[in-house]
Amino acid sequence: QTQLQESGPGLVKPSETLSLTCTVSGGSFSSDLYYWGWIRQPPGKGLEWIGRIYYSGSTYYNPSLKSRISISMDMSNSQFSLNLSSVTAADTAVYYCARLRGSYYVFDFWGQGKLVIVSS
Amino acid sequence: SSELTQDPTVSVALGQTVRITCQGDSLRGYFASWYQQKPGQAPLLVMYGKDKRPSGIPDRFSGSNSGTTASLTITGAQPEDEADYYCSSRDSSGNYVLFGGGSKLTVL
């Protein structure tokens, strides 16, 4: 059973870079059947897809965030990471990492979520 | 199109049938998937593809897709089905993920 766990600071100052890491266990990280993605949810609001990465390193980002996002992988540690630059209060959200099944493009396993607050 | 539209609130009497809908141009080419989210929890995949349920999802959940509309139907709604439901699909290019705005289901 695949498990995902987000880690990183829960408080980030405005204009700085938000950095989160997702650690994957369960053995599917290097499979070509899956992508790995980030999703966020501002308090009291809906889900927003941030981006995804494939085992080859190819990425796709939400066009509305593309200029500020970078997603990378560390195959040796079964981790993938999110960097979101120049944050503002509008980036305050619960950030989820999840496994994206390639055949149907659905998120079938999710981390528990990490609340990140942007505040000085 | 880059949008999926859902009714913000939906209600159903206990034991009755409810349909939650999702509209968007991308649904002409791609199946919708559906996620259930309860307060304080991560979303849970409940339906995907052409009426496929992940392991452990009760068979009172079913899905359908027609043209630009997808539906999640709960037949015999239970108190534990009260949650927010989000539809999702690929965008028209096939590379991006879209989420609907969510539907809050109340079981009366």
Residue A77 pLDDT exceeds 90: yes
> pLDDT for A17-65, tens place per residue?
999 999 999 878 888 999 999 999 999 999 999 999 999 999 999 999 9
Rounded CA-CA distance A71/A58 in Å is 9
Amino acid at B56: G
Question: What is the number of alpha carbons within 13 Å of residue A101 lying toward its C-beta?
Answer: 14
Residue A66 φ then ψ, to 5°: -50, -40
C-beta separation of A4 from A22 below 8 A = yes
Rounded CA-CA distance B81/B105 in Å is 8
Flag if B89 and A105 touch (Cβ within 8 Å): yes
Flag if A49 and B102 touch (Cβ within 8 Å): no
Option in A47, A108, A113 nearest B54 (CB): A108
Percent above pLDDT 70 for chain A? 100
Residues of chain A contacting B, Cβ within 8 Å: 37, 39, 46-49, 52, 60, 62-63, 96, 100, 104-108, 110-113
Residue A28's pLDDT is what?
82
Band of residue B81 on the pLDDT scale cut at 50, 70, 90? very high
Flag if A62 and B96 touch (Cβ within 8 Å): yes
Flag if A107 and B86 touch (Cβ within 8 Å): no
Band of residue A73 on the pLDDT scale cut at 50, 70, 90? very high
Rounded CA-CA distance B63/B43 in Å is 17
Percent above pLDDT 90 for chain A? 92
